[in-house]
Amino acid sequence: MKEFAIYTGLRILLFVASLITVALVWSLFTEGEVPAIWPVVIAFVVSGILSYFLLNRQRDAFARRVEERAARASAALEERKAREDQD
């Protein structure tokens, strides 16, 4: 599950970077306190859009690994069914 850890870590890093950027830009254009919810919502949307484009290779690697594991599990299940039917 190395691919899962890499993809998840990069998503979290991208979200944190987006949150910091949005909060800094927000504070530059507004005076006073920055409300907590809006920068988080905007950063969530921005990081989601960016991850779609920037993390495509990592997402594909993760999907391939999941597909391989599912195929192995399905083959093992079919093998057990075949052995059970022979008995």
The parent domain of residue 67 ranges over: 2-86
Within a 10 A sphere around the Cβ of 46, how many other Cβ atoms?
A: 17
Over residues 43-68, the pLDDT tens digits come to 999 999 999 999 999 999 999 999 99
Annotate 41-69 with DSSP letters as a single string: HHHHHHHHHHHHHHTHHHHHHHHHHHHHH
The sign of the dihedral angle between the CA atoms of 35, 38, 41, 43 is negative
| Number of domains the chain contains | 1
Copy the structure tokens of residue 64.
């391939």
Query: Does position 33 have pLDDT exceeding 80, yes or no?
Result: no
